[in-house]
Amino acid sequence: MPTWLKKLDQLDFQINALCGKANSKKKQKKLYNKLLPIAEKAKDHLYRQLEKVRSLTPEA
């Protein structure tokens, strides 16, 4: 998980640094295509963790 978060942070910075530069839309699209699968993996991992916690906590 920490590796995913680090990579997401790097990609987010790169996307934001492209604003106003030549061919930025094309480059942003390429970076978003890298970012989205990693974000999906992180989301799925966190969802599984949440389900584990919910299964261990007693219902009130």
> In this predicted structure, what is the pLDDT of residue 59?
74
Residue 58: per-residue pLDDT = 81
Q: pLDDT digit of tens for each residue in the chain (60 aa)?
A: 789 999 999 999 999 999 888 989 999 999 999 999 999 999 999 999 999 999 988 875
Q: Cite the DSSP H helix spans in the chain.
A: 2-17, 24-56
pLDDT of residue 60: 59
Number of domains comprising the chain: 1
Output the pLDDT for position 46: 95
13: domain range?
A: 2-56
* φ/ψ bin of 45: left (φ > 0), alpha (ψ from -120 to 50), beta (otherwise): alpha
pTM of the model: 0.80
